[in-house]
Amino acid sequence: MSTPGEKGNEAWPLWEVFIRANRGLSHVHAGSLHAPTKRWPCATRAICTLAATRASQSGWFPPPRSPQATPIRRVCSSSRQRARTTGTLCTTRLPRGEAPVSAETAIDTGHGDVSAHGDVSVDELRLAEELPGAGAVATADVAEYALRLGDDSLILSQQLGWWVAKAPELEEDMALSNITLDLLGHARALLHYAGTATGRSEDDLAFWRDEPEFRNCWLVEQPNGHFGDTIARQFIFSAYQAELYKTLLGSSDPSLQAIAGKAEREVRYHLDHAVQWILRLAGGTEESRGKILVSLHDLWPYVEELFEDDELTSRLDGVAAQPSTLRAGFDRTVATVFAEAAIEVPEVKPAYARGRSGIHSTLLGHLLTEMQWLPRRNPGAKW
């Protein structure tokens, strides 16, 4: 068997090996090695002996009787078979020192031969090309508008990520995770488009702006609270987004139209999920009904901001969705759901919310501190 470099430019691809002590614990990187194919287990013996030795020294599990591992090539992960790239997945299961799955099997992501993904490092330019609406350059006004929509989705996805492994049931863990990834995908596409006006990437916009530079609405800043609070917030926002993206399907801006084409289908699921929970909680026990009513009442003051027109949206007539025109569809959705759940629309005074102008509640600062600390702690770090 040849080794790298023996046949001119032909070289074996690099594989990563991960181990974990037990199910539910985090994988730990044990090392990397070159091997010709994903189905060639023999080359993993040396690296996995080292991995098992490290694990044994740490008190994780005894040395393996038959040290083997499954080489897993770095591949781009996807959620619900969507063409959305979110990062890299490199994992090898080696529970309690035993050979994991078949030592001749690698994870198949459903995208064909993993070798087609090329080098271990993820090419940012190739990933950018996969975004809906990629390739165009936004004007200053369109970039500001895309920034608003992207910030809404980014902040809410950050909020919902907290619920992973904390939801009331396993299926809800998966549902909220999927919604989180959908919103993150929307944010990435919109922030990428917004950044074309100034030459900044979506990561620059997400991690290197301070509170006054964010343009998200106040609704998405509101804390997760209990599960009913999260569902009420999600219902309001999804009902708004459903009308927003439906309108943007007719935008004269091709990039916004493309982003809306993908997002509109996903938001319909978000809305259906929230509606089902509103009905379930309102029609459940006395406690669950009381809590969802309080949640809706507490969040309703932030509804008005979603439908306020301003100079920017007026200048972008035909490009942007005029917020005030979305209110009628939103009200119809709310009326239908509330009628079935026997809920009255809360009569509350609107909050003095000015998120579109960069004026935010104190909640956003705490959220950004958590979201941005890693890239700011390690500037320029790359996977």
Residue 39 has pLDDT above 80, yes or no: no
The last residue of one of the domains, among 72, 90, 122, is 122
Token pair of 143 as six digits: 């970039």
Residues 35-57, mean pLDDT to the nearest whole number: 52
Q: Which residues contact 42 (CB under 8 A, 6 or more apart)?
A: none
With contact defined as beta carbons under 8 Å apart, do 233 and 222 qualify?
Answer: yes
Q: Is residue 284 located within the same domain as residue 302?
A: yes
Confidence of residue 380 (pLDDT cuts 50, 70, 90): confident
- 289 found inside a domain: yes
The last residue of one of the domains, among 70, 101, 122, is 122
- 284 found inside a domain: yes
> In whole angstroms, what is the distance from residue 213 CA to residue 357 CA?
9
Q: Is residue 201 located within the same domain as residue 263?
A: yes
Q: Is residue 175 located within the same domain as residue 277?
A: yes
pLDDT reported for residue 65: 42
CA 286 to chain centroid = 34
With contact defined as beta carbons under 8 Å apart, do 228 and 292 qualify?
Answer: yes
With contact defined as beta carbons under 8 Å apart, do 62 and 97 qualify?
Answer: yes
> In whole angstroms, what is the distance from residue 143 CA to residue 191 CA?
8
| HSE-up of residue 204 (Cα within 13 Å, Cβ side) | 10
Cα angle 16, 5, 53 (rounded to 5 degrees) comes to 35
- pLDDT tens digit sequence for 285-301: 999 999 999 999 999 99
Residue corresponding to tokens 């309108």? 247
Q: Is residue 221 located within the same domain as residue 358?
A: yes
Cα angle 325, 335, 279 (rounded to 5 degrees) comes to 130
Q: Is residue 152 located within the same domain as residue 19?
A: no
Q: Is residue 177 located within the same domain as residue 204?
A: yes
- 368 found inside a domain: yes
Residue 83 has pLDDT above 50, yes or no: no
Q: Which residues contact 238 (CB under 8 A, 6 or more apart)?
A: 267, 270, 271, 273, 274
The last residue of one of the domains, among 101, 122, 143, is 122
Residue 81 has pLDDT above 50, yes or no: no
With contact defined as beta carbons under 8 Å apart, do 338 and 166 qualify?
Answer: no
pLDDT reported for residue 103: 34
Q: How far is CA 110 from CA 106, 261, 290, in A?
A: 12, 24, 45
Residues 332-347, mean pLDDT to the nearest whole number: 97
Residue 26 has pLDDT above 90, yes or no: no
Q: Is residue 290 located within the same domain as residue 196?
A: yes
**Domain count within the chain:** 2
- 8 found inside a domain: no
Q: Is residue 179 located within the same domain as residue 112?
A: no
- 346 found inside a domain: yes
Q: Which residues contact 306 (CB under 8 A, 6 or more apart)?
A: 217, 219, 240, 323, 326, 330
Confidence of residue 108 (pLDDT cuts 50, 70, 90): very low
Confidence of residue 22 (pLDDT cuts 50, 70, 90): low
> In whole angstroms, what is the distance from residue 353 CA to residue 308 CA?
10
- 3 found inside a domain: no
Residue 181: CB atoms within 10 A of its CB come to: 21
What CATH number should be reported for the domain holding residue 239? 1.20.1260.10
- pLDDT tens digit sequence for 157-182: 999 999 988 888 888 999 999 999 99
Q: Is residue 157 located within the same domain as residue 51?
A: no
What residue type is 231 in one-letter code? Answer: I
pLDDT reported for residue 249: 97
Q: Is residue 244 located within the same domain as residue 281?
A: yes
- 250 found inside a domain: yes
Least reliable range by pLDDT among 30-39, 191-200, 236-245: 30-39
Residue 76 has pLDDT above 80, yes or no: no
Torsion of CA 95, 98, 100, 105, to 10 degrees: 150
Residues 182-194, mean pLDDT to the nearest whole number: 96
- 7 found inside a domain: no
pLDDT reported for residue 13: 73
With contact defined as beta carbons under 8 Å apart, do 259 and 132 qualify?
Answer: yes
Q: Is residue 94 located within the same domain as residue 166?
A: no
Domain membership of residue 97 as a residue range: 14-122
Q: Is residue 148 located within the same domain as residue 249?
A: yes
